[in-house]
Chain A
């Protein structure tokens, strides 16, 4: 991270990299290398390192700059040098009319989609590329990942190495096949910088699905942009991929967090000492049940009992999560006043179509969309006021991006409320101040 002690430095480039930078390998490689070299110098990188894969967020159309950048690369002859997956876009490419995506936005998105196809990216269109075994980064591999939840998951859960890349440098790295060696790419940059000690949590909290996004949201707010080490998970906790996914998405929403160590759970944290890389913890902060209750309450922005939109799948739903949703619905129909949306990847949608779960969800009145999600597209064709969700990331972004109030609850309560047509809470004893 850029702090007051960092210096703007020079960086060693190979002969090939220098040729790219001089424009001798075409305009696309010059532009890409120029961005990477400036970034590397800024953050004191000694050199560039090859990457195994890239995950690109710049394919999501927001405004003209996104299109102008992509068209500049395509015109310059850009082709990705490594396997490259694509994050969500601004529309479900097959069902955008059903989502009432405005025609103008759909058209802009289509042009951007074509640019990234022309550069040779895989049309995955998902914010959870790590749910597909084919595009899973391996332990220790350098990659260039943009999309904050995917960065946090790859670093934290898989032990792959990606800095917190953003739009444009992601595709620049994919085209050049390299990133600067700095930050989370280095052993030093992966050391824990603040210890968050869970204090006096009742054991049943670890079995509550909503604990994981709430803990992530609490930890991100405290850690800010420091690598946190979380201590206090009891042995034997079932830290499933879905739970860690919810944790990572939340911690990367409330904080600028690309990596968190959870002692006893994540691969680089067999012990506190290992997570700190032998250094002394500069700061330790407790997190207790009262803190978590306060954070959980804060994820809901309204105490309104009415809502219009059930929104699930940020990050994109897994096969297992759709299974839990089907089980919670138990064949019942969503109330006529509620619109119920699940967002997932094309691969997961295909898998649940084959298993029969997709048909069960559709019979219950749940629509399953791919390629996008509610907070990255336009909802101007709808009159939603309030969203109910089990996702801390949806809860975080619903107001600023879509102007929606939020009711945060565990999946089972989201389902009961959607069947009833009004907000109802089940077992909330754990989360109420006594």
Chain B
């Protein structure tokens, strides 16, 4: 178990299995609102749901509608348990802020260093603390 110290972005705690994108992600056009499944083929995650996972993407890209897509995922109960980035853009952080105002639930967000980011793999069990800015990593055991 490793404890990574990063920077708090949005408050709250979330735990789940890591789901890590190879590329920057836009929630608009990148994730389906019907089921939370990733549709962006470049991420390497297409076909997998973000719901309840700790979603890792190095940075966001593209559209201004991403904020709303994160809010809608929260409204539908399909949001990731937490988000971990290297850089969090306002467009993503605002999704968590507005979800808190509208639905009383935010998505915890933490940024970590590129080196720490590189060390996490899809399937690792993560516990994210958006107030402290920490990520606890329980690395998956490969068969």
Contact = CB atoms under 8 A, between A and B. Distances in A.
Interface of A: 1-8, 31, 34-35, 38-39, 42-43, 57-58, 60, 62-66, 68-69, 72, 146-148, 151, 163-170, 183, 220, 224-225, 252-256, 396-397, 399-401
A400 B39 contact: yes
Interface string B24-39: 1000111001000001
Given A62-B69, A65-B71, A148 B63 contact: yes
A163 B67 CA distance: 14
A166 B68 contact: yes
B64 A146 contact: yes
Q: Which of the four size classes fits the interface of chain B?
A: 35 or more
15 contacts: A3-B7, A4-B111, A31-B101, A34-B101, A39-B94, A57-B65, A58-B68, A68-B75, A69-B71, A164-B91, A167-B67, A253-B62, A255-B61, A256-B60, A256-B91
A107 B2 CA distance: 51
Interface in B89-139: 89-91, 93-95, 97-98, 101-102, 111-113
Nearest to A68: B102
Interface in B1-54: 6-10, 24, 28-30, 33, 39-41
B29 A397 contact: yes
B66 A39 contact: no
Contact of B33 (A62, A167, A396, A399): A62
Contacts of B97: 35, 38-39, 42
B41 to A, nearest CB: 8
B48 to A, nearest CB: 15
B102 A166 contact: no
A309 B14 CA distance: 44
A164 B89 contact: yes
A382 to B, nearest CB: 19
Contact of A2 (B63, B101, B111): B111
Contacts of B91: 164-166, 256
Contact of B67 (A169, A225, A401): A169
- Which of the listed residues B6, B64, B87, B91 has the most CB atoms from chain A within 10 Å of its own CB? B64
A256 B67 CA distance: 13
A62 B29 CA distance: 11
A26 to B, nearest CB: 15
B89 A2 contact: yes
Nearest to A400: B29
Given A57-B65, A148-B64, A4 B6 contact: yes
Given A4-B112, A224-B59, A166 B72 contact: no
Give 8 closest A-B pairs by Cβ, nearest first. Answer: A166-B67, A400-B29, A167-B68, A166-B91, A2-B88, A146-B64, A65-B72, A63-B72
A94 to B, nearest CB: 24
A6 B9 CA distance: 9
Contact of A64 (B28, B63, B72): B72
Contacts of A256: 24, 59-62, 89, 91
B7 A165 contact: no
A62 B65 contact: yes
Contacts of A68: 75, 102
A65 B68 contact: yes
A35 B98 CA distance: 7
Given A35-B94, A397-B29, A225 B71 contact: no
Contacts of B61: 220, 224-225, 253-256
A45 to B, nearest CB: 11
